[in-house]
Amino acid sequence: MRSLRKTLLLATVASVVLVVALLHSWPTRAYTTVDVRQRPVPAVERHLEERLPEPDHRSASIPYRLKESVAGLLARNGCVCEGESGGVNFPFAQLLFPRVSAHSLHTAFEASELEEMKKRRAKEYQGFQLRSQTPVDMLMVAEANNPLQYPTQGVEVRPLKTILIPGLALQELPRELYTVNLTSTLGTLNVAAEVEGVKVKGDGEMHMTLSSNKLLHLNRQLQFVTYTNTLFHPSTADTVQFETEGHQAMFTIKIRHGVTPKLYNTGPRGEYNISALVTIATKTFLRYDKLQDLINSVRRFYPTVTIVIADDSENPQTVSGPYIEHYIMPFGKGWFAGRNLAISQVTTKYVLWVDDDFIFTANTKLEKLVDILERTTLDLVGGAVREATGYTATYRQTISIEPGEEEGDCLHMRRGFHHIIQGFPNCVVTDGVINFFLARTDKVQQVGFDPRLARVAHLEFFIDGLGSLHVGSCNDVIVNHATKIKLPWVSESESDKTYAKFRYPPASSDATHTKNGLLYFKNHFQCLTHN
Ligand SMILES: *[C@@H]1O[C@H](CO)[C@@H](O)[C@H](O)[C@H]1NC(C)=O
Ligand SMILES: *[C@@H]1O[C@H](CO)[C@@H](O)[C@H](O)[C@H]1NC(C)=O
């Protein structure tokens, strides 16, 4: 009997503890659910498309003459890559009269796997489009003679916060009763103040009606309309419908967090302190003699600048010294993997990319490159590389992408640039530059170097960065290139021979296939032209 009582008591105590524990861990706030799945065009957008005004059918019969010179500039349905044919064929012809050549990229895959690859790419591409488009990308047309006044752009709210919607009003129309409706989809509408003589219905909901027989009062009330985001789904937008009898308008409210800045402490003001502002990053493979020449040349001009070295040699040697960070990677990890590792370790505002066989000279004035990045909106600026022959290259490239259909887009690369930069007569705006550039560290880290590109790669970084990197190039900051041309009286060292085997594989090799495969699948290109 006693043991039964004891058991009962224990059981009671245990269940009380359990209930308390449960209550304690029970959520005290009611959570609503949000659907963040990728989905096709939401209903409101479809609704909007249907609302696009029908073109006046009477205009169809008005004659017109096509202006080929202008109409030809409009994007066609689909794109093609065309090379230039003909021309003279003699040694160095391509150097003197560069011709445009075109390449199909699907050849990176076997014919048997191509169909499957196409389907997979199409699926990934569709997902990308759904993720990257928001209602602010939609076309909206403001109808003529609409008495509704509303903001067309620039309204923004932080997730789950409230704002006053600016600019709402209704224009004079002789009416007995003035009524407007506001409808939102990702948040609620309300009024921050109640105006005399105005009836408010549905405040705090997604559909609110305001009515009054005095227009002035209604307009006063419209100045107090608020929007509260209730569904947290950052970087999207709510499309708000605003309507009165016979008229309808739509506008978007962007919902997003502010961009969190990433600022670097650059030290006291005054002349640019290169050691505090810049880290030099390089990738080495086997060529320790060249690397040491680079380090020695840097130290002549910048004794305390940090040098980050990524090294994927098979038998790594020690590279040490003050302000040197040497990172050893698995053997043969590759060109872009090394670049990625090197830039990931940079903690200064700017990173200077150099190849391990460059030599600093008195013309390698990093201050000039820092100055242009400090004073402009550029993210990256390239310099010039002088070969042993005296030939100096900036390797400026423009990159453009023409949208295509299922086959993919067309990538066009041409030597050249877009504009000269005002105030910097030696500098231009372009899309891609040589392997010698200074860049904002956070921007290069964002774009990243695709580690799948192990050997042949350079412009791929600029292709990935197109649209987010603002690129410049200056020809008055020059670094020397340890000789690349094989002079007959200089015998090639063993390490140079092994290096060449890895670094310059033949065009038919796996490395070239990987590169074209990535352009095809990752970047959704069908073909490429360049000169
Ligand atoms: C406003 O919305 C109500 C329903 O909430 C509807 O009955 C009314 O017709 C709408 N008015 C206008 C002008 O669209
Ligand atoms: C430049 O920056 C380095 C590293 O932050 C610092 O050690 C050095 O004192 C600075 N030099 C001057 C002149 O401010």
Centre of ligand 1 to C-alpha 156, Å, is 26
Cα–Cα distance, 495 to 497 (Å, whole number): 5
**C-beta of 248 in contact with ligand 1 (< 6 A):** no
* 170: β partners: 148
pLDDT on residue 493: 60
Strands (E), 118-206: 148-149, 156-157, 162-164, 169-170, 178-183, 187-191, 199-201
Q: Which residues pair with 525 in a beta bridge?
A: 409
Q: What is the pLDDT of residue 285?
A: 87
pLDDT at 91: 57
How many A from CA of 358 to the centre of ligand 1? Answer: 72
The answer to whether residues 440 and 350 touch, using CB atoms and an 8 Å cutoff, is: yes
Phi, psi of 440 (to 5 degrees): -65, 125
Question: CB-based contacts of 271: which residues, under 8 Å, 6+ apart?
Answer: 367
Distance of CA 181 from the midpoint of ligand 1 (Å): 6
Give me the pLDDT at residue 445, please: 94
Is the model's pLDDT at 298 over the cut of 70?
yes
Q: What is the 209 CA–ligand 1 centroid distance (Å)?
A: 7
pLDDT tier for residue 248 given thresholds of 50, 70 and 90:
very high
Q: Coil, helix or strand for 257?
A: coil
**Is the model's pLDDT at 177 over the cut of 90?**
yes
Give residue 526 CA to ligand 2 midpoint distance, Å.
50
Question: Best of 273, 348, 370 to mutate for ligand 2, by most ligand atoms within 8 A of CB?
Answer: 273
Q: How far is the CA of 143 from the centre of ligand 1 (A)?
A: 20
3-state SS class at 263: coil
Q: Is 230 in the pocket of ligand 2 (CB under 6 A)?
A: no
Ligand 1 centre distance from Cα of residue 208 (Å):
9
Q: Is the pLDDT of residue 235 over 60?
A: yes
Of 212, 172, 174, 173, residue with least CA distance to 195: 212
Residue 189 in tokens: 């509408």
Q: 242 CA to middle of ligand 1, Å?
A: 11
242 touches 144 (CB < 8 A): no
- Cα(495) to ligand 1 centroid in Å equals 80
What confidence score (pLDDT) does residue 456 get?
Answer: 65
Residue 360 CA to residue 509 CA, distance in Å, equals: 34
Q: Is 303 in the pocket of ligand 2 (CB under 6 A)?
A: no
The CB of 266 under 6 Å from ligand 2? The reply is no
| Whether 186 contacts 240, CB under 8 Å | no
Q: Is 209 in the pocket of ligand 1 (CB under 6 A)?
A: yes
Q: Which carries the bigger pLDDT value, residue 265 or residue 428? A: 428
User: Which ligand has the minimum distance to the alpha carbon of residue 202?
Assistant: 1
Q: Higher-confidence residue: 22 or 212?
A: 212
Give dist(CA 187, CA 228) in Å, integer.
5
Q: Give me the CATH code for the 274-530 domain, please.
A: 3.90.550.10
Model pLDDT for residues 424-480, shown as the tens digit of each residue:
999 999 999 999 999 999 999 999 888 888 766 788 899 999 989 999 999 999 999
pLDDT for residue 364? 94
Kindly indicate the confidence band of residue 378, based on its pLDDT and cuts at 50, 70 and 90. Answer: very high
Contact of 193 with 174, CB cutoff 8 Å: no
Assess whether pLDDT exceeds 80 at residue 181. Answer: yes
Sheet with strand 409-415: strands edge to edge: 101-104, 525-530, 409-415, 397-402
Q: Best mutation site among 265, 272, 275, 350 for ligand 2, i.e. most ligand atoms within 8 A of its Cβ? A: 275
The predicted structure's pLDDT at residue 307: 95
- Would you say the CB of residue 245 lies under 6 angstroms from ligand 1? yes
Which ligand 1 atom is at minimum distance from the Cα of 181?
Answer: 1
DSSP string, 290-322: HHHHHHHHHHHH-TT-EEEEEE--SSPPP---T
What is the distance of C-alpha 79 from the center of its chain?
A: 23
* Per-residue pLDDT at 39 exceeds 90: no
User: Looking at the predicted structure, is the pLDDT value of residue 41 above 60?
Assistant: no
Kindly report which listed range (53-57, 209-213, 216-220) carries the lowest average pLDDT score: 53-57
And the tokens for 530? 């360049």
Tokens of 403: 């949208």
% of the chain at pLDDT higher than 70 = 83
pLDDT band at 374 (very low <50, low <70, confident <90, very high): very high
Q: Where in the chain is the domain with CATH 2.60.40?
A: 64-74+141-256
pLDDT of residue 87: 56
- Reply yes or no on whether the pLDDT at 282 is more than 90: yes
**What distance in angstroms lies between residue 206's CA and the mean position of ligand 1's atoms?**
13
Taking residues 402-423, what's their average pLDDT?
Answer: 90
CA distance 449 to 456: 13
Q: Is the pLDDT of residue 486 over 60?
A: no
Measured from the Cα of 180, ligand 1's closest atom is 13
- In whole angstroms, what is the distance from residue 87 CA to residue 466 CA? 32
Task: Give start-end residues of each CATH 3.90.550.10 domain in the chain.
Answer: 274-530
- Whether 348 has a pLDDT exceeding 90, the answer reads yes
Determine if ligand 2 sits within 6 Å of the CB of residue 223: no
Q: What is the pLDDT of residue 32?
A: 72
Bigger pLDDT: 56 vs 492: 56
Residue 492, pLDDT above cutoff 60: no
Decide: 243 in ligand 1 pocket, CB within 6 A. yes
Topology, domain 64-74+141-256: Immunoglobulin-like (2.60.40)
Mean pLDDT of 276-296: 92
pLDDT tens track for 494-516: 556 665 655 555 555 677 778 88
* Ligand 1 nearest atom to the CA of residue 207, by list position: 5
Are the C-beta atoms of residues 511 and 505 closer than 8 Å to each other?
A: yes
Mean pLDDT, to the nearest integer, of 380-397? Answer: 91
Of ligand 2's atoms, which has the minimum distance to the CA of residue 273?
A: 1
Grouping H, G, I as helix, E, B as strand and the rest as coil, residue 407 is: coil
Which of 376, 346, 386, 351 is CA-nearest to residue 366?
351
Nearest ligand, CA of residue 209?
Answer: 1
Place of tokens 């003050």: 322
